[in-house]
A and B are shown apart, each in its own frame.
Chain A
Amino acid sequence: MQFRVDKLGVIIAALAAYGAFLAPFATFRANRIVAGEARSISEALPSAWTVVVLLLVVAAVIVAVLKTPSRLRLGTAFATIAALALGIGAAAGHLTPPENTYARVSPASGFWILLFALGLLAADALARLRPSPLVRVLFLSAVLGFIAAVLTSGTWDGLSLLKEYASRADTFWAEAGKHVTLALGSLAAATIVGIPLGVLCHRVTRLRDGLLGVLNAIQTIPSIALFGILIAPLGWIAIHVPGAAAIGIRGIGTAPAFVALFLYSLLPVVANTVVGLAGVPREANDAARGIGMTDFQRLVGIEFPLAFPVILTGIRIVLVQNIGLATIAALIGGGGFGVFVFQGVGQTAMDLVLLGAVPTVLLAFTAAIVLDAMIEMATPNRSQVQSA
């Protein structure tokens, strides 16, 4: 039997081996803000868990290095990731002295490196399997379901991140709501305004360069500067426009954050609408006109459906960008996950930073996968064109 070596697998294996045997698995701190002490896998885990985790890591390393079927690689990667996820929970219980509510246990560099290496192995295997969009979304649901199950089971309750959550559970969900509202609301507004603007730019060539230029310029303004720029006009509106203050328009807070995200969102939506409409086959447009469609019927019946995948790509860019950018809104009192990030930075409490950052990353990741699947499903398959 001949063994062949997988090149990417060697790198993954090296990373995993470093993460498992050289880097610390968990950090133990006597309280929230003191420096931590590193613990290796064997120190951090009860002996049974140590055996399970190490065996799985070794198995994953072997599977990664050799050329093995993609399904096997994917299965091993996920099994090992699951063991790590449960293991870090067990480490919290193992390391925290009984009745001690000040001590903090958190994943250390070894855990993250292992997670990264195994995530890479899984992503590579998934890419090779070329799953259909629907399967990808199902996969995502399974992963999110696993995370939700572990969270509700209490396995991670001993981890410092969850302890931070426990003391802020009510504000966490309120900020989560604000974050999603900011990101989705500004996206919805940008879509409603941006698509007609894109159509206008497509039809009126002279408008296109000017408008896209302005939107491009807005994109280059750093977000904090844009918030600052908006304080004066929004403050003025709040004072001088009757009813504006009543619906929450103020110089600081949610309003400027919303407006800034909206402005950032316009360029991708408008530009992709323009590009999508320009990509509609000339013959299809000519035929549509020639057989008697009105301009509106042509727009709705021919141009939009054909440009839709490209417009959706713009919306995907905006959504992922907004989920990340909404974090900054906390700086001007706009709320969102950024609240935890900036509080954590202020208190040098990394766990609090992670409480804001991890859900943001998860949200962005989920949005990207779901929208990518939607784009692929909306794109007609033209690969099987027969020759005449």
Chain B
Amino acid sequence: MIEIEGITKRYGETTVVRDVSLTIAPRTVTVIVGTSGSGKTTLLRMINRLVEPTSGTIKLDGEDNRSLPDYELRRRIGYAIQGHGLFPHRTVAQNIATVPTLLGWDRARIEVKVTELLTLFQLDPVAFGPRYPHELSGGQQQRVGVARALAAEPKVLLMDEPFGALDPIIRAKAQEDLLAIQKHFETTIVLVTHDMDEAFHLADRIAVMDKGEVVQYATPAEMLVKPATAFVESLIGAGERPFRLLAIETVADAVEPGAAEGEAIGSAATQREALSTLLWSGRKALPVVGPDGAVIGKVSLDGLVQRAAGPT
């Protein structure tokens, strides 16, 4: 649990973050979005005290984040940034081992952890461990950056535009990997981005920042249905709203009784994917199969159209 209470940051006359209060539930993904200069990165960096707030407090699991020396606090919090920030003169294995080494883990334990993380991120430990960062592709470097952030098993992972430098295909893959990793370690993730698609895809809750203030902090569904300000509405994009709404729910929630012809869709797919399949194949309904492969009903075009409708 991260409790941000009345946090303000001023640089001279300019207020970068103004009186922000947020409570972030454990084991969730919170995405902070906003235009550049909205103060989202500064807010993130105040959590691990890379930036010291002018006023206000931040508590991690009830403990004030100023109760420890800053470097000890940071060793407990994962930190991943855009452009990965890997140390160019250290191998992949050494990069990942950085925080465990700082914490004084013994060598055998570090080695086990590095191997585990590399395997988890689909990088062969034998092939990639001894390589230098410049020998990796952008996507691989980014994965090593996240692996390094997770090496000491932090409960909280802070990410500052971690996928900003990746091309769209690798970015989508990295996002899927992140969600899987988050489930695996049950990490609380706070991620900063200006990409709304990324925010809606990853977030349990989204905090929208504008001119240093949080203008809305809500689940993606709430935000779509009831945007708090015109700024939030424009950020979401009026034309995208029904599709975003369908994209954050799965087919399982839209199943109707009955049968349909043709190729089936899995219940774990998003409703947006179902709509897309319906439109492309020209059918009125699709059969839906559960995780075990058995048909559990159908999803219909009419049903999805109703679900995509905004509040009247």
Q: Which residues of A contact B (CB under 8 A)?
A: 281, 283-284, 286-294, 297, 302, 305-306, 380, 382, 384-388
Contacts and interface: CB of A to CB of B under 8 A. Distances in A.
A388 B139 contact: yes
B48 interface: yes
B243 interface: no
B86 interface: yes
14 contacts: A284-B85, A286-B50, A290-B48, A290-B74, A291-B75, A291-B79, A291-B149, A292-B71, A292-B75, A293-B98, A380-B88, A380-B89, A386-B136, A388-B139
Given A289-B50, A290-B48, A292-B74, A284 B87 contact: yes
B72 A292 contact: yes
B113 interface: no
B130 to A, nearest CB: 14
B167 interface: yes
A181 B197 CA distance: 67
A385 B138 CA distance: 10
Given A284-B86, A306-B89, A290 B81 contact: yes
B81 A283 contact: yes
Q: How large is the interface on B (under 10, 10 to 19, 20 to 34, 35 or more residues)?
A: 35 or more
Contacts of A286: 50, 81, 85
B89 A287 contact: no
Q: Is the interface of B mostly helix, strand, loop or mixed?
A: mixed
Nearest to B136: A386
Contacts of A385: 134-135
A286 B162 CA distance: 14
Nearest to B78: A291
B98 A291 contact: yes
B229 interface: no
Nearest to A304: B89
Contacts of B76: 292
A74 B263 CA distance: 74
A291 B76 CA distance: 8
A359 to B, nearest CB: 38
Contacts of B81: 283, 286-287, 290
B3 to A, nearest CB: 21
B88 A387 contact: no
A178 B74 CA distance: 52
Contacts of A284: 85-88
Contacts of B85: 281, 283-284, 286-288, 290
Given A292-B74, A294-B71, A287 B86 contact: yes
A360 to B, nearest CB: 36
A293 B48 contact: no
Most buried by A among B71, B73, B167: B71
Contacts of B75: 291-292
Contact of B135 (A281, A293, A386, A387): A386
A386 B89 contact: no
Contact of B84 (A283, A293, A306, A387): A283
B231 interface: no
B295 to A, nearest CB: 41
B46 to A, nearest CB: 12
